[in-house]
Amino acid sequence: MRIMLLLFVMGIVPAIIIEAVMVQTQEERAVSQRTITVQNQCAILCDQLANLGYIENPSSEVVDGELSILTNIYGGRIMIVNRDYKVIKDTFKLDQGKYILSQRVIDCFNGDETSRYDKKNQYIEMAQKIASPDEKGSGDACGVMLISVSTTEIQVTKDLMEQRGILVLTVLIAAILVLGYFLSGLLVKPFQKISSSIEALADGYAEETISVPDYLETEMITNAFNRMMRRIKTMDDSREEFVANVSHELKTPMASMKVLADALNSQPDAPVEQYREFMQDISKEIDRENQIITDLLSLVKMDRKAQDLNIETVNINDLLTLIIRRLKPLAEKKNVELILESFRPVNAEIDQTKIALAFTNIIENAIKYNKPEGGWVRTSLNADHKYFYVTIADSGIGIPKESVDHIFERFYRVDKSHSREIGGTGLGLAISRSAIVLHRGAIKVYSEPGEGTTFSIRVPLVYIA
């Protein structure tokens, strides 16, 4: 409807304006042409009058004849006024002998020849001075010729043109309406196609992508829509995968516990040592179950919105010292040396708990996945005017090339059996990355299998909401 209206307005408004301007121009042109023609003829007549001395003696039959021919041709009236403002000739014979003291006559005697178009009463009025050729320009007129000619026929032509214009406009309106109806339907069709495709998709009985390549715009819309659908699908898939992984991870320790308990149950007279050993294993599995649940809860917390962050200004040097002190026992157990290098004091606006968890996970990994003897983990802190940078390098086993891109995924572990032995849940790095991203930071990893791994982290000094 809107497109049709637009087409209508765009078609009709200019047509109406053009028609009005054309009719108006035609009228002005006709009037000015008529004025010039009559003025020219009257000028000749005026010269003749002056030469014949008609003003002094208004009894020339030749002049009378010419005057009546002129007035007949143009349907007008001519009056001749002498210096005493007396009408000495009136072709209508109405005012002959009377005195006429109008401004136009006075102006004309003063050399100001005027013409005026009276549109309402449909005539042109002109005043022309009568002076012999040698007196011309000096303003010494001996008389004034007042001419009025009818413009009825100009008006008739104008009316005719207007009528034709209205006829053409009516035809044009009808054509535009019909054309607009079809054209707007045609223009909108691709968009209707898009909306029906989306509806079909939403109702679930269509392909997962839509394609309407009719216009560049519709192609862009459908491409954007398809991209969005792909994202939703990826999110859906990853959610499904996550739930499957969580269930699996939670079931594994339970299954182990069940096997251990069943084994004990099936032997009524099992020795106490075996009981103790199996119970210790069950206890380990419970710890593991606990660890997975704790990690899952941390991850859920990280997935929340940024407004849940508890931002405060924290001294990062102190924070890293504290984390390293806490991890010292684990490092000693694994015979790993912990080194902390601080290049400058750094204070930053962060959520201390979340960032501490992120660094703890990464340093803990660096200890866990280190070489069996004489390993080291070097943590260094630096900053510029915008960010602080933490690098955690280790001399560990490294990460294979094909796994580097996946280590931040939830539940991803490079070597499932090995990590299980070490005690990972596969959630640590996912938690760390979420925490850093929540602070609008970035984390990158470089690794050389067999030589070591370096994590570099960048976090803004000032928290950007």
Which 333-372 positions form the footprint of ligand ADP (CB under 6 A)?
A: 361, 365-366, 369
Minimum distance, C-beta of residue 415 to ligand ADP, in the bound complex (Å): 6
Residue 449 beta carbon to ligand ADP: minimum distance, rounded to whole angstroms: 9
Q: Would you say 445 and 399 are in contact if contact means Cβ atoms under 8 Å apart? A: yes
Side-chain-side CA neighbours of 53 within 13 Å: the count stands at 2
Straight-line distance from the first to the last Cα atom of the chain, in angstroms, rounded to the nearest whole number: 45
Among the listed ranges 248-256, 270-278, 329-337, 395-403, the one in contact with ligand ADP (CB under 6 A) is 395-403
Min dist CB 365 to ligand ADP, Å, is 3
Q: Of 399, 436, 438, 459, which one interacts with ligand ADP (CB under 6 A)?
A: 399
Which segment (10-18, 211-219, 266-274, 391-399) binds ligand ADP by CB under 6 A? 391-399
Q: Which residue is nearest to ligand ADP (CB)?
A: 424
- In angstroms, the CA 144 to CA 420 distance is 124
**Member of 453, 457, 458, 459 binding ligand ADP (CB under 6 A):** 453
Scan for tokens 């992120």, then name that residue. 358
Of 271 and 329, CB closest to ligand ADP? 329
Helix (H, G, I), strand (E, B) or coil at 122: coil
Residue 150 or 291 with smaller CB distance to ligand ADP: 291
User: What is the rounded distance in angstroms from the CA atom of residue 335 to the CA atom of residue 372?
Assistant: 8
Per the listing, tokens 């050729």 go with 133
Nearer to ligand ADP by Cβ, of 80 and 363: the residue is 363
How many residues interact with ligand ADP (rule CB under 6 A)? 23
As measured in angstroms, the least distance from the Cβ of 406 to ligand ADP is 8
Establish if 397 lies at the interface with ligand ADP (CB under 6 A). Answer: yes
Binding positions for ligand ADP, 410-429, rule CB under 6 A = 412-415, 419, 424-429
Cα separation, 438 vs 386, in Å, equals: 17
Q: Which residues neighbour 163 within 8 Å (Cβ) at sequence distance 6 or greater?
A: none
- Residue 3: closest CA among 187, 245, 166: 187
Answer yes or no: are the C-beta atoms of 108 and 85 closer than 8 Å: no
The minimum distance between CB 352 and ligand ADP, in angstroms, equals 20
Site residues for ligand ADP, 262-321, by CB under 6 A, read none
Residue 85: exposed, middle, or buried by beta-carbon count in 10 A (0-12, 13-18, 19+)? middle
Query: What is the C-alpha to C-alpha distance for residues 33 and 22, in angstroms, rounded to an integer?
Result: 16
User: Min. distance of Cβ 313 from ligand ADP in angstroms?
Assistant: 28
Rounded CA gap, 153 and 159, in Å?
10
Contact 144, 105 (CB under 8 A): yes
Q: Does 407 participate in binding ligand ADP (rule CB under 6 A)?
A: yes
C-beta closer to ligand ADP: residue 145 or 358:
358
Establish if 4 lies at the interface with ligand ADP (CB under 6 A).
Answer: no
Q: What residues line the site for ligand ADP (CB under 6 A)? A: 361, 365-366, 369, 394, 396-399, 407, 412-415, 419, 424-430, 453
